[in-house]
Structure 1
Amino acid sequence: MSTRDAVTALKRLGLPNYQARTFVALQQLGTGTAQEISDVSDVPRSQVYGAADDLAERGLVEVTESSPKEYRPVSLATAREQLTNRLERERERAFDNLAQLRTAPSARGDDQSVSTLRGRQPIDDRIAKLVESADSRVVFVAPEASSLSEQIETKLREQAARGMFVTVVTAEESERPRFSESSITVIVMGEDNPADFAGRALMIDDRTVLLSVATDDDTVDEEAMWTAGSRIGRILTQFMQSGIESGRERNP
């Protein structure tokens, strides 16, 4: 890793620019005066004093009261712990504040609203919440066993236990035993089903639809769109229902 990369990484961990550059310089020097740190880091000497003192307050630097002052970094293990603990505190503070500011979800329906999501876990969370919102019927298309997370399976079972009509559509015969002891209906599509699985899908009460597909992105493995209580949702549910019925006729 280059010096620039190390500085960038520390900035991402919450250190301001001059503090990050000062800390990296001290890793190279071991111990250094403000002038020596400035020479290595290109931080103006007048700014090194403040940056080094701030690092000392963070527990990342020791200060030797000599003439001139000398600065020494704490061990990397200690620095890692200090930065990790600080990030944890800031994270908790941020989300506590957000929780206080957050208002209840609006009950107002937007007749044309379509939302998008990226990432497997956010999509799993949304599917689980949508399943939980069902009034009478849930259809979940899970092409593979891995498509159905434990979180989603739990919500499907809970809704089935409440008397909802819950259906799982899959391409894997092995999914039948998974729900054999529940009231969940499992439909296994055969290879001759004309509607190939493009990804996961969810239909709730003939009015809410979520569709997702895998991506080739190295950072995001799945993306989805969903709509609830809208005209487009009702149209999409009709297409989904038609495809499922067609598949059942071909794969009784």
Structure 2
Amino acid sequence: MSGDRNEAVEAFEQLGLTSYEAKVFIALHRLGAGTARDVAEITDVPRSQVYSVAESLEDRGLLEVQQSNPIRYRPVSVDEARDTLRTQFERERDRAFEYVETVKNEPTGEETQEDIWTVRGRDRVDDRTADILSQAEDRIVFGTRLPELVTDSVERAIAERAAAGVAVLVVSRTEAVHDRFADIENVVVERPPPHRSDDERSGRIAIVDDDSILLSVIGDGSETAFWSSGSLFATVLIQLIEASDEVQVG
């Protein structure tokens, strides 16, 4: 039974009562009514604490006080207590979420946060790359030096968008990458500028339209990428990359 009682106390705590409040409330239901001494004798709540705890429970509408000598306490019915706690819980819930609603779109000053995301792991990066590519409406630039990063999902996304009239440029110095796109109609495959040198940590780059970009690096056998879509950051970074010919990497 002690286990059940402890679980009940924990449940009342989740509803907003303190441990002592829960124990006194349960004890009074066990007693039917009683004094502070009565409660202290069947709980681990010190008698000196029962008075303040009972006062708090009275304020919550969970017990009644009989002005006798000594003072006696009687809990409200289980149904009344359930309704009272439900009302209090819902009121506090509404108050909390009303505040969240007021601040979630509230300006925090002159600074704004762009949507720049990080994704780790080859499979997750691959899923994000394919997803970004599939959103292309006007153009795609895709580059990589590693044939294994041209996965079926990436190739399929590029082929589907090319078939839909999207201009596609694939950049790589690796013959195996060229071969993956050689038979796909409307896909242009180019090599990077000759002054470029291989970077052993570069992964892949995907630029979609003028406002979506993904860049990945390889480290310790794992791939990590950051990406941004529909943001000012993405637009400016794409412009910088294209202005410096960095888009032609692979």
* TM-score normalised to structure 1 length: 0.49
The normalised TM-score by structure 2 is: 0.49
The structure that has the greater radius of gyration is: 2
